Amino acid sequence: MRIYTRTGDTGETGLLGGIRVPKDHVRVTAYGEIDDLNAHVGSLRVAIEDPGVRATLEEIQNLLLEAGTEMATPPASRFHTNGLNEKDVKDIEDAIDRIDSTLSPLTHFILPGGSEAACRAHLARCACRSAERAVVHLLRVEPGETAVLRYLNRLSDYLFVVARWANRVAGAPDLVWHSRGLPGPSTPPPAGTADPPDSR
C-alpha cells in the first residue's frame, strides 16, 4: 500500500464517513491543530525522564488522537467515535493538582524559558491554545456538545505546570515578566491565571 493517494491534490480531503471538504474547512483545521498539539506533546515527552509524567503525556497523546478523530467526524456521518468524556477532564485536573502541589505558589507572570523540557512544554501549551481556538470556531459554525473543548482548556494548564515543574527539576528558576505598564512582579496575577493575560 502506497503512503500517497493523490486524492488530495485538488485541495480537498475526506472526513470520517466519506464526506469531501476543502482542506481549509473549519473541521479540518480543528483536527489539524490537535494533530500539531499532539506532535508538540510527543516532543515534550522525549525530553522528560520522570516515568510518571512520561506515562501521563503518552496517555494525553492517545486522548488527543481520540479528540482529533471526533473532530474529523461530522454530525451527518454514520461513523461512530468514542471521543472524550468528563472522566478524561477530571483525570487531567487530578494530574494538574499532583504536579502543582510540588511547586511554590505562583506570585507573578513568568516568561517561557528555562530548561529544554520547560521550553517544549510552553510550545505545547501555545499549540494547545491554538487547538482550543480552532475547536471554538468549529463549534460556532457547527454547534454541538463535546468534552474536547473542556479537556483542551485544562490541558493548557497542565502543560503550564509541567513547564514550571521541569524547571524546578532542572534547578532553573522561573523567568519573571518585568512589565513596563503593569504592577511589578511582586504583585500576584489574577486568581487562576497561568497563561499570559490575553490567552485564557
Q: What is the pLDDT of residues 42-82, one digit of tens each?
A: 999 999 999 999 999 999 999 999 999 999 988 777 677 77
Q: Is the pLDDT of residue 12 over 90?
A: no
Residue 45 dihedral angles phi and psi, to the nearest 5°: -60, -40
Contacts of 153 (CB under 8 A, 6+ apart): 132
What stretch of H or E contains 93? helix 86-100
Query: Do the Cβ atoms of 22 and 83 come closer than 8 Å?
Result: no
DSSP 104: P
For the chain, the structural domain boundaries read 20-176
Domain 20-176 fold is: Hypothetical Protein Ta1238; Chain: A; (1.20.1200)
Coil, strand or helix at 120: helix
Please tell me the pTM assigned to this model. 0.86
Instruction: Write b or e for each residue in 84-115: b if 16 or more Cβ atoms lie within 10 A of its Cβ, otherwise e.
Output: beeebbebbeebbeebbeeeeebebbbeeebb
Q: Is the pLDDT of residue 98 over 70?
A: yes
Residue range 128-179, pLDDT digits in tens: 999 999 999 999 999 988 999 999 999 999 999 999 999 999 999 988 888 8
